[in-house]
Amino acid sequence: KQLFDNLYYSDEHFFQTIYDENLYLKDNVKEKQIQLNIPQKQVLLYRRKLLDEKRKLYLYDDLIKKYKIFQQYQSNIFEKFREWDYKQIALRCAREGHLKGLRLVLERAIPSILLIDLLSILNEICETVPLTEYEDLIPKFSLIEQKEFDRKENDWSDEFISSNEETKEEINRSLFIDWYKKKILSFESFGLIENALQLCKHALDIENFNEFFSFYNNLYLELLLNKTSDKDLTFEQIRNMSEEDI
């Protein structure tokens, strides 16, 4: 860590050189955006790579010490860890049920993990894990317009990263609807009706996805009937039942 800290501050004079040159150009050239020369771009690439390596090292260290996800530091494991992107790290945490570690990865990831990837990551959490433990991680479609998609490094190099290099994504409503349907039916297929009901209620109350009214009613009916019936009825069977059958 000390080595990274030393390297972190070692190229400050490069920043000053780039900053001074751009300041001069902005004062003397009317173009809105100044193109960096090749040496300056190389400095920025080096800087961004260094920041990523440092962040990965600190993340790996915290996952070991705080959450015991990995055993004590092993160079061969860390070499693999360095090669993973943040989505891959988050997927591993989700699959193994390390929700605290997953939260840490989501907090540290730069650029931020895309919403579409976050939905696929949450799919990897075992159905037997209570939804209450990660319900707050479900991205809200209703807040997409307000969400800042790309977390910054809070470093001087941010100033020279143009907006077209930032991560953008297009999310539509149908993507969220499909995710909720698949996750709800996955809970139901494992017999975890209460989890399915809770997620259905989340879709209705938080997102106002009215498509899930019938889902909720049928799931609630399934819960009641299975408590009073000798047969284990499925969601699909209940959907196809007439009022007389019920």
- The pLDDT tens digits of the residues spanning 74-121 come to 788 888 898 899 999 999 999 999 999 999 999 999 878 888 899 999
In one-letter notation, the amino acid at residue 192 is L
Distance of alpha carbon 224 from alpha carbon 229, whole angstroms: 9
31-40, 64-73, 98-107: which is most confident: 98-107
Determine the average pLDDT of the residues in 168-193: 88
pLDDT at residue 177 in the model: 94
pLDDT at residue 28 in the model: 43
DSSP 209: -
- The pLDDT tens digits of the residues spanning 96-109 come to 999 999 999 999 99
Residue with the two structure tokens 């959490």? 125
Provide the residue ranges of all domains of the chain, joining segments of one domain with +.
2-170, 172-246
Residue 163 Cα distances to 22, 93, 107, 168, angstroms: 17, 31, 22, 10
Question: Does the structure show a pLDDT above 60 at 179?
Answer: yes
Looking at every residue in the chain, the average pLDDT score rounds to 79
- Indicate the pLDDT class of residue 24, thresholds 50, 70 and 90: very low
pLDDT at residue 78 in the model: 86
- Indicate the pLDDT class of residue 30, thresholds 50, 70 and 90: very low
Question: Does the structure show a pLDDT above 70 at 230?
Answer: no
- Indicate the pLDDT class of residue 125, thresholds 50, 70 and 90: very high
Q: How many residues does the chain have?
A: 246
Query: Which residues are within 8 A (CB) of 163 and not within 5 positions of it... i.e. 6 or more apart?
Result: none
Distance of alpha carbon 35 from alpha carbon 243, whole angstroms: 70
- Could you tell me the pTM of the whole model? 0.75
pLDDT at residue 231 in the model: 62
Determine the average pLDDT of the residues in 148-153: 59
Question: Does the structure show a pLDDT above 50 at 25?
Answer: no
Regarding predicted confidence, which is higher, 174 or 166? Answer: 174
Distance of alpha carbon 102 from alpha carbon 94, whole angstroms: 6
Question: Does the structure show a pLDDT above 90 at 134?
Answer: yes
- Indicate the pLDDT class of residue 236, thresholds 50, 70 and 90: low
